Amino acid sequence: MRFGRVRTADELAALTEEVGFLPFFRCGVPGWSLEENIDPSVWFTEENGPWEWKGQLAREKRLVYAKLIRRKAAFVSLRWFPDLCNWRRDGYDFEGRCDDGLVPHADRLVMEYVQAHGPVRSKEVRQQCGTAKGFDIALGRLMMQTFIINRDFVYETDRFGQRYGWGVSLLDTPENLFGEALVNAAEGRTPAESQTRLIHHLCCCMPDVDEMLLRREMRV
């Protein structure tokens, strides 16, 4: 299964809009990733390529980008993100999860820091929350639950103003970036109804893929 060669940020956005969800790297569903659908000539280019597109498309509010499929990075269209939030949050906002004792201490520290300071660099959250050993696990859970997303990626610069190294994630809440109206747009449906809608859409886009395999890849 392949959807077609992606050569530009616009083509990546269009493919994500078509499929709804697009993992960045290969996953348990063959052919369902940017890595498998990108033109090899731009995959490791030193110029503008997918490593820059992910920040650009998030910054421009064209797509959601976070660890959303099996705690791995994925793009999600704004059309389907509300149903993903409705399903993954299971009828809770973050405060409600805290009140019911469903939030580990590390997750609460990370989420409250991002809520108070976002958008904020991930390295700052790691340093300020004192959760260095459990930070990646906590952040992964919060992203899978759709409470935190990547707003952009920022780079260090040398004394000549030239950037270097890997981009550092700029974390934020989807409510802060897109507004509560979009995030809560599926509230009229139950979490189970949102899940059914998402899986049905993916099955229509990938009719040759077993539904149980898609459910396994999409589960929290």
**pLDDT for the residue numbered 201:** 97
CA distance 85 to 104: 19
Q: Which of 58, 55, 1 is nearest to 28 (CA)?
A: 1
**pLDDT for the residue numbered 85:** 98
Q: Which amino acid, one-letter code, is at 137? A: I
Q: What is the dihedral of CA 25, 166, 47, 10, to 10 degrees?
A: 50
What are the residue ranges spanned by the domains of the chain? Answer: 9-218
**pLDDT for the residue numbered 220:** 78
**pLDDT for the residue numbered 131:** 65
What does each of the 220 residues of the chain score in pLDDT, given as a tens digit?
567 789 999 999 999 999 999 999 999 999 999 999 999 989 887 678 899 999 999 999 999 999 999 999 999 999 999 999 999 999 999 999 999 999 999 999 999 999 999 899 999 999 888 766 789 999 999 999 999 999 999 877 767 667 766 778 999 999 999 999 999 999 999 999 999 999 999 999 999 999 999 999 998 7
Q: Which of 127, 170, 172 is nearest to 148 (CA)?
A: 172
**pLDDT for the residue numbered 1:** 55
SS (H, E, C) the chain: CCCCCECCHHHHHHHHHHHCEEECCCCCCCCCCHHHHECHHHHCCCCCCHHHHHHHHHHCCCEEEEEEECCEEEEEECCCHHHHHHHHHCCCCHHHHHHCCCCCHHHHHHHHHHHHHCCEEHHHHHHHHCCCCCHHHHHHHHHHCCCCEEEEEEEEECCCCCEEEEEEEEEECHHHHHCHHHHCCCCCCCHHHHHHHHHHHHHHHCCCCCHHHHHHHHCC
